[in-house]
Amino acid sequence: MQFLDLEFVADQFQQYADSDPVHWNSEEGCIKFGETPVFYKRFDDHFEIEIDGVTMEIPRI
């Protein structure tokens, strides 16, 4: 299993999820960071991501 920095992933979502429709193009889905799948759901004011069973809410900026 590859270690993935949750803060790095959260930062990527805040920076790019609303401005890069090619990679984040739906209300929910899965994006791979390296070999690690990151499942996400988009809400009006935040994202919810799940990595290896750990769920985290990230505010939308």
Q: How distant is the alpha carbon of residue 8 from its chain centre?
A: 10
pLDDT of residue 1: 45
- CB burial readout 24-33, b (16+ within 10 A) else e: beeeeeebee
Q: Which pLDDT value is given to residue 48?
A: 92
pLDDT of residue 22: 67
pLDDT reported for residue 55: 92
Q: What CA–CA distance (Å, rounded) separates 15 from 58?
A: 11
Q: What is the pLDDT along the chain (61 residues), one digit of tens a residue?
A: 456 788 888 888 888 877 776 666 678 888 888 888 989 998 989 989 998 888 989 888 7
